[in-house]
């Protein structure tokens, strides 16, 4: 376990040791899980966009594992722990893990308070379309 950098001290993070069809990240405060993120691979996903010839931000380069993309299925923080930086720190760790594993794309769908989520995902570097699909090209 590693420490999660957020406003609450002593929040610990467990993360996967490598790539797999399902990846789980869990944040603990003491013995309790206070947040988690779930990623998965799928061969076909309605949320994943493909790169067009004019979209240089979505194209992969030789430092990336070609075609390795993950869907951010869920990121959830328990009600009592929200608005204390845990979700942001957890998403930062997910993105860092994907970069370390040379994943080319992280994508999904924003669900919830869309105005706040659109700003949150955008601040993390994700692109959003008009139907609230999210995508982060990892360089």
CA dihedral 82, 28, 20, 131 (to 10 degrees): 0
Average pLDDT over residues 87-92: 97
- Residue 75 has phi, psi (to 5 degrees) of -140, 120
Lowest mean pLDDT among 8-12, 18-22, 94-98, 112-116: 112-116
The DSSP string of 13-58 is: EE--SS--SEEEEEEEETTEEEEEEEEE--SS-TTPPPPPTT-GGG
**Rg (the chain; Cα; Å):** 15
Lowest mean pLDDT among 6-10, 11-15, 44-48: 44-48
Q: Quote the Cα angle for 45-65-49, to 5°.
A: 30
Tens digit of pLDDT for each residue in 45-80?
454 454 443 444 433 333 444 568 999 999 999 999
Give the pLDDT band of residue 43 (cuts 50, 70, 90).
Answer: very low
Which of 120 and 53 is assigned the larger pLDDT?
A: 120
pTM for the structure as a whole:
0.82
Integer Cα distance of 72 and 58 in angstroms: 17
| Domains contained in the chain, number | 1
Q: What is the CATH number of the domain that holds 69?
A: 3.40.630.30
- Residue 69 has phi, psi (to 5 degrees) of -130, 150
Average pLDDT over residues 89-116: 93
Mean confidence (pLDDT) of the chain: 85
Domain that holds residue 32: 2-137
CA 72 from centroid of its chain's CA atoms? 5
Strands 11-14 and 133-137: unpaired
Closest CA to 107 of 131, 75, 134, 127: 134
Sequence-ordered list of residues with C-beta below 8 angstroms from that of 101, at least 6 positions apart, any chain:
18, 19, 65, 68
């Amino acid at each position: 376990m590693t420490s999660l950098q957020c406003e609450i001290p002593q929040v610990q993070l467990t993360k996967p040791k490598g790539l797999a069809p399902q990846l789980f990240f869990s944040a603990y405060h003491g013995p309790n899980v206070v947040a988690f993120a779930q990623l998965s691979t799928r061969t076909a996903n309605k949320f994943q966009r493909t790169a067009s010839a004019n979209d240089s931000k979505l194209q992969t380069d030789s430092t990336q594992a070609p075609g390795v993309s993950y869907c951010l299925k869920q990121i959830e923080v328990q009600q009592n722990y929200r608005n204390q930086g845990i979700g942001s720190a957890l998403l930062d760790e997910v993105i860092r893990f994907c970069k370390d594993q040379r994943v080319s794309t992280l994508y999904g769908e924003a669900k919830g308070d869309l105005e706040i989520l659109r700003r949150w995902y955008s601040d993390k570097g994700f692109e959003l379309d008009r139907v609230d699909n999210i995508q982060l090209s990892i360089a």
